Structure 1
């Protein structure tokens, strides 16, 4: 059920080959990918706009524009002909992009946020969305990250769900999200 009568858009963050299939595998990556694809299908069935962000690194980096690691996952059901795919160079999907303008053009004031990495781009985007006047719903079982030397991925995800909930986002599980 939507948070209000405002149209929702799905925002898929950094589901890229190099991040998803790198040497450090994301926590519950196949389950998260399945949940993201379920939400893409659900959004498409309800004519909700779908935005996919792709992190871009410097020319010499593994995430340089056009590199194999920069590409969206081939198993991600984003359709680059139908959906809006934007590149970003900062953690927030809004910084240095025209995402906010495109969301306004699409008539979306609510974002359903999914993707990678929880403590970087997902966190920064959730916080920025609130600052820009968007209502955000973070799908608690459809974002992920990798273990770090100091904290396991499950704890990072749980911490960010708890920290972001209320002040910046509403939490929901994949099964409960509607467009």
Structure 2
């Protein structure tokens, strides 16, 4: 169980995009992860915590090239364009040239709840940098995912990152244990 944080929290949703989530390689337990993210969006809204989504912009011709249908957030994600924040990035870290840290600071956010895709790239990079930038970081262990690779199953990648990042970089919590 988590002790209540004194920091104001925000939810950060990483790369939940059509071209990644609904692409040829399906994310591990994608539907469960999507449901957990939507539950966290609901929890954030109930607590008046801001919701930030970051979308990766790939190069022209890639499955997630800017402006394409595959680049958009998955329609099943319960985002509210009127109140939620949408940022675009070109690097694995959600903080690199996005203005995210400044927007979080301006909103008085000290605690970041991290979810999304892909575990070993953008989720990892963002989780590692969040604490260095002064944020209390929570990685929701059952609300991030990736695909199998030739070397490791997605499940092994996720379990490894939950274990490796916990403590040194983030606090890993389950969806049920996250409070905003």
Range into which the TM-score falls when normalised by the shorter chain:
over 0.9
Aligned counterparts of 1:60 and 1:80: Cα–Cα separation in 2: 27
| Aligned position for 2:70 | 69
The answer for unaligned runs of 5 or more in structure 2 is: none
Aligned counterparts of 1:129 and 1:80: Cα–Cα separation in 2: 25
Give the C-alpha shift of residue 112 in structure 1. Answer: 0.3
User: Is contact 1:2-1:8 (8 Å) kept?
Assistant: no
The answer for unaligned runs of 5 or more in structure 1 is: none
Aligned counterparts of 2:112 and 2:148: Cα–Cα separation in 1: 27
TM-score, normalised by the number of residues in structure 1 = 0.97
Give the 5 Å matches for 1:38-53. 38-53=39-54
Aligned counterparts of 1:133 and 1:169: Cα–Cα separation in 2: 12
Q: Does 1:110 align with 2:126?
A: no
SS in 2 for 1:109: strand
Q: Deviations over 1:15-53 (max 9, x none)?
A: 000000011000000000000000001101110010000
User: Is contact 1:53-1:88 (8 Å) kept?
Assistant: yes
TM-score, normalised by the number of residues in structure 2 = 0.97
User: Is contact 1:40-1:77 (8 Å) kept?
Assistant: yes
Aligned counterparts of 1:12 and 1:3: Cα–Cα separation in 2: 21
Q: Does 1:96 align with 2:97?
A: yes
User: Alignment length, in residue pairs?
Assistant: 179
| Aligned position for 1:136 | 137
RMSD between aligned alpha carbons? 0.9
Aligned counterparts of 2:138 and 2:178: Cα–Cα separation in 1: 9
Aligned counterparts of 1:2 and 1:66: Cα–Cα separation in 2: 42
| Aligned position for 2:17 | 16
